[in-house]
Amino acid sequence: MDRDKRWDRVKIAVDALTQGEDEQLDSDADLVAKIEERYKKDETDEFLKPIVVGKDGRIKDHDTLFFFNYRSDRMREIVQLFGLPDKPIDVSIPEDLNISTMSKYKAEFTFPVAFPPQAMTNVLAEWLAKQGLKQSHIAETEKYAHVTFFFNGGVEKKYDNEDREMVASPKVATYDKQPEMSAQGVADKVAEIVKSNTYDFVMCNFAPPDMVGHTGVYEAAVKAITATDAAVGTIYKACQEAGYVLLITADHGNAEQMINIETGNPHTAHTTNPVPFIIAGPKGKGDEAGFVFAQDKEDEEAGALCDVAPTVLEVLGLPKPEEMTGRSLLVPEAK
């Protein structure tokens, strides 16, 4: 499920599925013991290399394949190898495969789809474009799809006056080996763009808290958060100098819980813990401009992810489209 163009990793999976390469077992009765053996070598679920059970399960000519993962960014590379004639690496693929997918992985893919994408109208990026605003989206490779395809409501193309920047993610086996990833590179690019005063809206994604959190290595996660904190500081300073309002939030937790409190084992999954929402503006903006969090009012409920876009529009002084069901997390104080 690589998404960083590490085709050597995808080839390992494809060769196992088609050629039966890698470790082979005669029956599934040996599978649990083999996995437990891998665990003892600290090879956890995310990093298990292929285990092939028997010889009859290999993909052969004329087979039907159903890719059931709904995450488009995680499936594009392997589906490209199995289903498209243009292959970036040398792999042996069976002939005449009948391929279907759970969701639409890429606009150019013509395979049958079980659940076609829902059309989303007037997502934040589209609405900003309709208002004539210029916007820039920045991330490193691991999170580039998040600031483009996902953020734009499943749309591949850029909207009018939208620019994109991608910073290369480090080429390491696992991100605990380089937990800062490319956070500072992303921050430096954002700071450069902010200081240019070219764009009305600039957004980025920092990968380390999520990607390093998935490794389950506590010490690496601490380094990842420290690096991300420094990167946020770079952007904050640029926003202060250029007169931008800075908003910081997340859509899920991860690195704040590195230990499973029930088992004592590493916790590598996302969490549903509350995440922060921070607003910081230069003098005359942000809280000094008279905005306070609506949650500070006794009769207001806590915010949700659907409230982020309306809050951005509130800060920009723009109306909210009727398709947005959330509300601004800010309320203007009476002057």
pLDDT band at 281 (very low <50, low <70, confident <90, very high): confident
pLDDT digits (tens, 9 = 90+) for 44-103: 887 888 888 877 778 999 999 999 998 888 999 999 999 999 899 999 999 999 999 999
Lowest model confidence (mean pLDDT) among 212-221, 223-232, 297-306:
297-306
Closest-CA residue to 122 (of 312, 313, 325, 321): 321
| Of residues 227, 224, 211, 280, the one with CA closest to residue 249 | 280
CATH of domain 124-332: 3.40.720.10
The ranges of the chain annotated as CATH 3.40.720.10 are 124-332
Return the pLDDT at 232.
98
What value does the mean pLDDT of the chain take?
Answer: 91
Percentage with pLDDT > 70 across the chain: 93
> pLDDT by residue (tens digit) across 13-22?
999 999 887 7
CATH class of 7-101: alpha beta
Out of 29-33, 166-170, 297-301, pick the least confident. 297-301
Helix 183-196 vs helix 218-242: angle between axes, to the nearest 10 degrees?
Answer: 10
Least trusted range by pLDDT, from 233-237, 291-295, 315-319 = 291-295
What does DSSP assign to residue 266? B
| Residue 200 confidence (pLDDT) above 80 | yes
> Which segments of the chain belong to CATH 3.40.1450.10?
7-101
pTM over 0.85? The answer is no
Q: Does 296 have pLDDT greater than 60?
A: no
pLDDT score of 334: 38
Which pLDDT score is estimated for 305? 94
Cα of 128 vs its chain's centroid, Å: 22
Strands 291-293 and 330-332: antiparallel
Residue 98 bridge partners (DSSP): 64
Out of 9-23, 233-247, 318-332, the most confident range is: 233-247
Q: How many angstroms separate the CA atoms of 201 and 136, rounded?
A: 7
Residue carrying the six token digits 């952007």: 235
Query: What is the pLDDT, as a whole number, of residue 331?
Result: 75
Least confident of 105-119, 155-169, 202-216, 226-240: 105-119
Query: Which amino acid, residue 65?
Result: L
CB count in 10 Å sphere of residue 301: 10
* H or E element that contains 118: none
Mean pLDDT throughout 22-27?
77
The predicted-structure confidence for 88-145, as pLDDT tens digits, reads as follows 999 999 999 999 999 999 988 999 999 998 889 999 999 999 999 999 999 999 999 9
Q: Which residue did the predictor score with more confidence, 335 or 289? A: 289
pLDDT value of position 335: 33
- How far is the C-alpha of 88 from the C-alpha of 86, rounded, in Å? 7
